[in-house]
Amino acid sequence: MKLNTKSRYAVMALADMAVFSSDNAVSLRDISLRQGISLLYLEQIFLRLKKNNIVKSVRGINGGYILVKSPKELKISDILLALDQKVKTIGCKKDSKKSCNGKSTKCITHDFWDELDIHINSFFENKKLSDLLKNREARI
C-alpha cells in the first residue's frame, strides 16, 4: 500500500514553496533543483495543482507558481485530491447495491475497509501544509 510519486512530489514541492516563497512566484526550475525532482514531471504535476486551484501561475520571465491558500490553511487532503490520489483502499463499491465480489450483499469485510478509509482520510484532512514545516532542522 503505497502513495504514488505524483502525490509525494506534489506535497514535497508545495512544502518547498512554503519555505522559499518570499512573496514572488517560485519557478519549477528552482523546485526541481532543490528537491531533486524532474522538471518535466513537475510540470505535469503543477498542471493538476493549478486546475484544482491549489496554486496559481505567473507566466514569463521571473514567473512561477504561487500558493493560493496559506500553508496554514492548505489541507494535505486537498493536494491529494488534486492528483486523483483517492484513498480507496479496496475495490468494493461504496454505494452500489451490487457491490464487492459480485454478490448482491455487502462482503463480510466491507465495513472494515470503509473504516480504514475514514481513518486514513481523516489523517490527511487534519494535516495542514504548515504542519510539515515544524521542527524541521534539515530543510535542504
Partner DNA sequence: CTAAAACTTGACTATTTTAGTCGGGTATAT
Partner DNA sequence: ATATACCCGACTAAAATAGTCAAGTTTTAG
Q: Residue 5, interface with DNA (CB under 7 A)?
A: yes
Cell of 9: 512530489
Choose the contact partner of 63 out of DNA, a second copy, none; CB within 5 to 8 A by kind: DNA
**Whole-angstrom Cα distance, residue 3 to residue 138?**
23
Nearer to DNA, 52 or 130 (CB): 52
User: If residue 4 lies in a helix (H) or strand (E), which one and from where to where?
Assistant: none
Through-space distance between the first and last CA atoms of the chain, rounded to whole angstroms:
28
Instruction: Look at residue 56 and give its three-state secondary structure.
Output: strand
> What minimum distance in Å lies between the beta carbon of 27 and a second copy?
17
Q: Residue 14, interface with DNA (CB under 7 A)?
A: no
Question: Looking at 10-18, 45-53, 112-120, 129-137, which segment touches DNA (CB under 7 A)?
Answer: 45-53
Nearer to a second copy, 73 or 123 (CB): 123
Instruction: Look at residue 108 and give its three-state secondary structure.
Output: coil
> What minimum distance in Å lies between the beta carbon of 5 and a second copy?
7
Determine how many CB atoms are found less than 10 A away from the CB of residue 83: 20
> What minimum distance in Å lies between the beta carbon of 47 and DNA?
5
> In terms of Cα–Cα distance, which of 92, 86, 87 is closest to 110?
92
Choose the contact partner of 139 out of DNA, a second copy, none; CB within 5 to 8 A by kind: a second copy
